Structure 1
Amino acid sequence: MDQFHDIRPYNDDEVAEVLNNLVETPDFINTIIGFRFAQWPKFLRAPLAFCVKLALKRQIANISNVHAFQMRVASYMERMIKTTTTNVEYRGIEKLEKGVGYLFLSNHRDIAMDPAFVNYGLYLAGLDTVRIAIGDNLLRRPFVSDLMRLNKSFIVKRSANGIREMMAAFGQLSAYISDSLMKDQANIWIAQKEGRAKDGLDQTDPAIIKMFFMSQKKEKIPFSDAMANLKIVPVSIAYEYDPCAFDKARELHQKSTTGSYEKAEFEDIDSIKNGIVGQKGKVVVTFGDVIKEGFETPEEFVAEVDRQIITNYAIQSTNKAALALQQGLPSSDSAFSNYLERCPDNLKDTVLAMYANPLKQQQKYLNE
């Protein structure tokens, strides 16, 4: 029996059927129309739906496995990079070896683009793409779950209720990650904590590390050895501009002023869309060093992950400009000043903090 059937990515022999079902899913077709043809009059929706289905059927005709699907994704990724970034740079990727399964533990800024940029770098370097951890909170629409699992995503059951159900979900997840890394020699991407670091402060949740340990703990493997077995590589992703910055600031501002924030039903889907199409400027992805033996507790391990992610973070001109403005100094980045002019006045301080915090966090580490 496949103990991971409900969380794992789709296998090659499942791809064709899933794709054919997607093309026949009205919610999927209507979402594409809303994304690509939002300005078109509504009376054209029916003929548009017919044309979109026809075009999709042509595109999927030769896709019969996960690799072929990801090659199609790579072509869209290349187009997105050309239209929404000024440059994408990869640092430290030359340290990675082919045929080795790494667990990339990453800071988290963008729902879809963080693992996408890591994946693209691995693809360019001739390395295997990652299996991507994605929370089930993002999968409220079934077609989104299908698309993600076609692209080697596996599901983190954040909606599990009760201690027993949560422990069962974490145990299954831990076993899946360990099997992927040590048996399949597959690469894994997972964020350092649940949700994006909307305030720009990158901090690892110790619960993530404890979850990694669960499956090996059952086998009486010491913590230090278990973590070394997983070949964990901290990853720092730095965007010059965050396409979702103003939306994040709105959420943070509302929480600070009212004490709560309620997401719209499909707000995460909008964030995914905005992250893909929004302007990002320069993007730098830095791969740290594999963390080896010598860390005896989750807290010690977290401290090392945080140290690497924060000190390896590629400081952008926007980070420097934001800190200067916070300190009452003039900004030397006119593009960032123009960008801030588009920001609502009540959110400017929050946006400045979001951009300044990675630099402040790094300075604190380096000074210590």
Structure 2
Amino acid sequence: MSQFDSIRPLYDAEANAAIRKIIDDSMLEAMMSFTFPTDTKEHWKDLMVHTHSLRDFQVNFIYPGIQKVLEKSSDGLSTGGFDQLESNTAYLFISNHRDIILDTSLLNAVLYENGLILTTSAIGDNLIQKQFLHTLSRLNRNFAIKRGLQGRALLESSKLASAYIKKSLLSENRSVWTAQREGRTKDGNDSTHRGVLKMLTLSDEGKNPFEYFEKIKVVPISISYEYDPTDVLKMPEWIAKSKDEKYIKGEHEDFLNLLRGIMGTKKRIHLQANGVLNKEIREISAMDLNQPDKLTKLAETIDHKIWTGYKLWPSNYIAHDLLYGNEEYVNFYTDAEKTAFEKRMLEKVNTKNEFLIKSFLSMYANPVNNQKVALNINSPSSQF
């Protein structure tokens, strides 16, 4: 028994047996019918039962599925910065987080196309409660982050995740993806939580955490969707917030978010690798600050990298102008694009609820404000 058995992906030696257990599952058949619409069930099943590694499963089945998702629900994916990364090198990718499945799947597709090491990626165990999804996530090299824990149980779980990440990066030369915060950003205001950075250092408890950060290669990733495919699904949480009530998820909410993220309209998508933070980490490490303040400084550095690397789309500029009642960015979008955005908003949001309208617009406008801050441009003094 490995200490990581409760959270780790499958080993290659376990892949084929796991595939055979789900080969007749209706959800897998639906996925493969979508991915290979002209193929016969017998053919893809035959290919699958002869698959014996996680990489082959990802490259031969997950990657074509992502290409089909892009074809059906987007206007294409653009990238930047990945040509500056080195092959056969493990990176810790810290990313803003918009979509449960697509963020990591798109990153791995880009890494594969650029000849770079694929990631093992963090996923909340609340998303993989169904046995099929649990097996599929392990085949797709996800490792589980346990949710809903408190006190000592949370600390021990965080230490386990930290040790697994360290082992992946430094012992297995395997890249790792983690979000900059727990859960997806609901308001478009991407910020790195110091607790995530603290978690990463727990496996070196008692040591200078920046010695660990200096050993690994930290790369902030910016992912930008022109249209957030799950924007409408954030309405119930916003309504609860407007009433100062605690939001409680519905029974199938995570699964609905997963499906909407995959198939919902996205228009254009951009993925930007914002360089390795070796120099910045060395500079922070040398500062005369206590360790919590150094982690805060690193979080701010990651934020600024993500904000500057974020691709601002017409939807962001339109939302900003509508939110603040001006035409500051009118040259960055067309009348047709503004009309389409307003139509999308009015179809999804109760126009009688001013709070919801502002929440919807802020979700798209906040990346504009954040980029202004990162580039030291005058911006509104506060965000909604």
Q: Same fold (TM over 0.5)?
A: yes
Secondary structure of the 2:2 match is coil
Aligned residue for 1:174? Answer: 162
Aligned residue for 2:13? Answer: 13
2:58 corresponds, among 70, 76, 80, to: 70
Amino acid at match of 2:111: L
Contact kept? 2:16, 2:50, Cα under 8 Å: no
Judged with a 3 Å threshold, the aligned counterparts in structure 2 of structure 1 residues 34 and 10 are, in CA distance, closer, same or farther, namely closer
1:85 to partner: Cα distance: 1.4
Q: Deviations over 1:193-243 (max 9, x none)?
A: 00111100001110111111111235x3x2222112121111110000011
Q: Deviations over 1:85-107 (max 9, x none)?
A: 11211111111101111000000
Judged with a 3 Å threshold, the aligned counterparts in structure 2 of structure 1 residues 301 and 258 are, in CA distance, closer, same or farther, namely closer
- Is 1:353 aligned to residue 362 of structure 2? yes
1:336 corresponds, among 324, 328, 341, to: 341
Secondary structure of the 1:295 match is helix
Aligned residue for 1:195? Answer: 183
Judged with a 3 Å threshold, the aligned counterparts in structure 2 of structure 1 residues 340 and 19 are, in CA distance, closer, same or farther, namely same
Q: How does 1:155-304 map to 2 (within 5 A)?
A: 155-160=144-149, 162-218=150-206, 220=207, 222-292=208-278, 293-296=282-285, 297-304=294-301
1:367 to partner: Cα distance: 2.5
Judged with a 3 Å threshold, the aligned counterparts in structure 2 of structure 1 residues 6 and 242 are, in CA distance, closer, same or farther, namely same
Distance in 2 separating the partners of 1:200 and 1:317: 15
What's the Cα RMSD here? 2.2
Aligned residue for 2:291? Answer: none
Contact kept? 1:136, 1:159, Cα under 8 Å: no
Contact kept? 1:253, 1:350, Cα under 8 Å: no
Amino acid at match of 1:277: M
Secondary structure of the 2:243 match is helix
Secondary structure of the 1:155 match is strand
Aligned residue for 1:142? Answer: 131
1:34 to partner: Cα distance: 11
1:327 corresponds, among 313, 324, 349, to: 324
1:255 to partner: Cα distance: 2.4
Aligned residue for 1:120? Answer: 109
Aligned residue for 2:374? Answer: 365
Distance in 2 separating the partners of 1:267 and 1:225: 40
Distance in 1 separating the partners of 2:374 and 2:115: 34
1:35 to partner: Cα distance: 11
Distance in 2 separating the partners of 1:153 and 1:35: 20
1:312 corresponds, among 309, 315, 325, to: 309
Distance in 2 separating the partners of 1:9 and 1:29: 22
Amino acid at match of 2:358: D
Distance in 2 separating the partners of 1:31 and 1:59: 14
Amino acid at match of 1:6: S
Contact kept? 1:107, 1:191, Cα under 8 Å: yes
Distance in 1 separating the partners of 2:321 and 2:131: 45
Contact kept? 2:89, 2:116, Cα under 8 Å: no
Aligned residue for 1:43? Answer: none
Secondary structure of the 1:318 match is helix
Judged with a 3 Å threshold, the aligned counterparts in structure 2 of structure 1 residues 60 and 31 are, in CA distance, closer, same or farther, namely closer
Contact kept? 1:244, 1:271, Cα under 8 Å: yes
Contact kept? 1:106, 1:189, Cα under 8 Å: yes
Contact kept? 1:63, 1:69, Cα under 8 Å: yes
Contact kept? 2:274, 2:309, Cα under 8 Å: yes
Contact kept? 2:96, 2:222, Cα under 8 Å: yes
Contact kept? 1:228, 1:291, Cα under 8 Å: no
1:270 to partner: Cα distance: 1.1
1:62 to partner: Cα distance: 2.2
Amino acid at match of 2:232: F
Contact kept? 1:23, 1:56, Cα under 8 Å: no
Distance in 2 separating the partners of 1:97 and 1:181: 14
Amino acid at match of 1:12: D
1:30 to partner: Cα distance: 6.1
TM-score by length of 2: 0.85
Unmatched runs of 5 consecutive residues or more in structure 2: 35-39, 286-293, 378-384
Distance in 2 separating the partners of 1:168 and 1:258: 32
TM-score by length of 1: 0.88
Aligned residue for 1:109? Answer: 98
1:338 to partner: Cα distance: 2.5
| Count of aligned pairs | 348
Residue identity (%): 32
Judged with a 3 Å threshold, the aligned counterparts in structure 2 of structure 1 residues 30 and 130 are, in CA distance, closer, same or farther, namely closer
Distance in 2 separating the partners of 1:167 and 1:109: 26
Amino acid at match of 1:156: I
Q: Deviations over 1:267-300 (max 9, x none)?
A: 1111111111111111011111211212242111
Distance in 1 separating the partners of 2:128 and 2:268: 30
Aligned residue for 2:288? Answer: none
Q: Deviations over 1:72-94 (max 9, x none)?
A: 11111111111111121111111
